[in-house]
Amino acid sequence: MSGDRVTSVDVARRAGVSQSTVSLVFSGKAEGRISARTTALVRAAAVELGYRPNAAARALKTGAARTVALVVPDVTNPFFGGLLRGAQTAARAAGYAVALIDTANDRDWGAASAEALQAGPADGLMLFEVDPPPRAPGARADAAEPIVVIESESRGHTSVRLDVEDGTLAAVGHLRELGHERIGHVASIHDRPTFRLRRRAVDRLAGKGTPRARCDFTLDSARSAALELLHADPSLTALFCDDDVIAAGAYLAARELERRIPADLSVVGFDGLDIGRVLDPPVTTVVADAVELGRVAFELLHAQLAGNRPRSRVLPVELAVRGSTAPPRT
Amino acid sequence: MSGDRVTSVDVARRAGVSQSTVSLVFSGKAEGRISARTTALVRAAAVELGYRPNAAARALKTGAARTVALVVPDVTNPFFGGLLRGAQTAARAAGYAVALIDTANDRDWGAASAEALQAGPADGLMLFEVDPPPRAPGARADAAEPIVVIESESRGHTSVRLDVEDGTLAAVGHLRELGHERIGHVASIHDRPTFRLRRRAVDRLAGKGTPRARCDFTLDSARSAALELLHADPSLTALFCDDDVIAAGAYLAARELERRIPADLSVVGFDGLDIGRVLDPPVTTVVADAVELGRVAFELLHAQLAGNRPRSRVLPVELAVRGSTAPPRT
DNA sequence: TTGTATGCGTTATCAG
DNA sequence: CTGATAACGCATACAA
């Protein structure tokens, strides 16, 4: 019950030096100021006692928690695995911890948590598809906390996003080139910038009247949406899906309707997830590098933390033509 | 550049009260101690100034950061999406933030621990398949940080794990009942408790000499391992895979070898991931509730944080027979 | 009901 | 090269 924490004072006493010497040693500022012998002494005492610098005290004093927060709408989607990996790896290399907030697609919660995070547990924020918190009325502009917006855009905030417009155009263009005239769009139910971009690009190439059904990123939901689309308009020869999980759902629907892919129906996905690779045939998809997205997001945040104003970036995506697309049956 | 943070002192001055009054209001202890009028006054001043209590100072003072750390070996595996979701949701409900550490399969705690422990002020640790940090020589036993071990076991630490033994037995038993005599095991390359359990269970039911190939949790690696197994012993009629991602890799291998599932080869997976559902045919698998696993892990940690000594738990898993298993061709 | 004083464990600025 | 000493922002016992 009495979990007495061991502090730098204890270490100092044990090593027979002053507390500030211990501090110097542990904050890496001992170089050329503390003798090697003393340093070793302190280290030994610390190990013996099991001393760990208190992060809260350090954060309070220095004003930096060395922690960044990453807010995502749905950790359950495999795409975020890569994003997390990239952000986390980069952060660790820079000596930062990552606090993860999964909003479970609850936008209000996203906003709320982003705001809460600004309190100081986090030195900076990486927001995936969630809007930055409103600036407090009295807050000074220059006191704004570093923020990087991912897959979204926001006045005055640095952002990274995938070139989804290019990707969508490539995907739908590919379908058109194969000769598809009747293309359906299985779209995300979530009204977020990245999906708006896709919608616009689809409409541009496939026509404003493109049949569209919405779903979230679960197999069942996607399956239903595809079914709905295919029932409503049996003349559809191709489906563009906002994500590979959705594409997988479309495969389920096609299997049920006994429409063979790609002979009876072409399907294109987005993201380049494993789930798309194991489909039979493997789905043609727009490959995005989620790990790189996470890495760049942290890099941009890190630059801000260092006092710079990095430029927003757009990452390329690439259409990978696999087995799910073919000319329509005439 | 001069990001002056606004403190409780500023708010106090603005509201014309003392700093402690502000503190009382914001720590929720104002009830019955501060008049409603004063409380409102303070709140108004805080909003005007954009005041947010400093988390580091609060953590330092109270000794609790209201943050827990979750250490996982590979965020990239979809199984962890569920785990994260469960842990995160439960933590949020209890007012805790979650810091995520992805060790990227870097098995030795040495690398991870430094980050993990200094990963900001975490009040407790949830460790997935990674060994707890060695107790410091001089550390007092009762000063140990609350720890929950997931899918692993460790002397003296509370743990949650899936009943993988039961699941594996059910899976392999199912294969035996169908009449399979020659069963191969596509196993994880990582030597962790949960996989040792599976190995033992497989050997028990399928015989000690069970052919086995190892791989990590990527499609390509799993595909190679399955290929290797199938080449080395063409008489194999069934494959038990340590995970659905691995099972998906096995499907890839089967497709290449033109062995039809389940007619020429039965396959069983583990975890019950989406990737297994979209395979054609859907894979028979041992379904584990990752979300629940995460939820319980936090629950156990939370209990420890409250000063209790909760019992370790074992969560049930269930065999879901789908289309990938059938009697062997005679 | 509100204000005063003090300390949490660290870092940082100085003297010595 | 090392040791006092003063903050950092908040919470709380105690005084008013």
Q: What average pLDDT does the segment A239-263 reach? A: 97
More confident residue, B67 or B110: B67
The whole-angstrom separation of Cα A98 and Cα A88 is 6
Does A6 score more than 90 pLDDT?
Answer: no
What average pLDDT does the segment A99-107 reach? 85
Instruction: Give A21-24 contacts, CB < 8 A, sequence gap 24+.
Output: A22/A46
Q: How far is A116 from chain B (nearest CA, A)?
A: 8
Q: Name the band, by pLDDT with cuts 50, 70 and 90, for residue B3.
A: very low
Cis peptide before B73 (omega within 30 of 0): no
User: Measured from the CB, is B53 under 7 Å from any atom of strand D?
Assistant: yes
A136·B47 Cβ contact <8 A: yes
Evaluate if the CB of B59 falls below 7 Å from strand D: no
What tokens were used for B128?
């997935």
Which chain B residue lies closest to A90 (C-alpha atoms)?
Answer: B102
Q: What is the mean pLDDT of chain A?
A: 89
The pLDDT tens digits for B109-145 are 545 554 455 556 688 889 998 777 665 554 444 446 7
Chain A residue with minimum CA distance to B75: A81
Nucleotides on strand D with an atom closer than 7 A to protein CB? 1-5, 7-13
Nearest to A102 among B1, B84, B144 (CB): B84
- Closest to B287 (Cα-Cα) out of B317, B244, B261: B317
Q: Give the pLDDT score at B141.
A: 44
Distance in Å, alpha carbon of B75 to nearest chain A alpha carbon: 5
* A277/B100 touch (CB, cutoff 8 Å), yes or no: no
Q: Tell me which residue in A56, A60, A97 faces B119 most closely, judged by beta carbons.
A: A97
pLDDT at A95: 86
Q: Which residues of B touch A142 (CB under 8 A)?
A: 1-3
Residue nearest to nucleotide C11 (CA to C1'): A61
- More confident: B65 or A241: A241
Q: What is the pLDDT of residues B199-254, one digit of tens each?
A: 999 999 998 989 999 999 999 999 999 999 999 999 999 999 999 999 999 999 99
Helices (H) and strands (E) in chain A, counts: 12, 12
Q: What is the DSSP letter of A94?
A: T
pLDDT band at residue B329 using 50, 70 and 90 as cut-offs? confident
Q: How far is the CA of B114 from the C1' of D6 (A)?
A: 31
Q: Do A98 and B98 touch (CB under 8 A)?
A: no
Mean pLDDT over A104-127 rounds to 75
Q: Within 13 Å and on the Cβ side, how many CA atoms surround B217?
A: 21
Contact B274 A275 (CB under 8 A): yes
Question: For residue B213, which phi and psi values (nearest 5 degrees)?
Answer: -130, 150
Which pLDDT band, with edges at 50, 70 and 90, does A295 fall under?
very high
Report the chain B residue with the minimal C-alpha distance to residue A140.
B3
- pLDDT tens, position by position, A42-91: 888 888 888 888 888 888 888 888 889 999 999 999 999 999 999 999 99
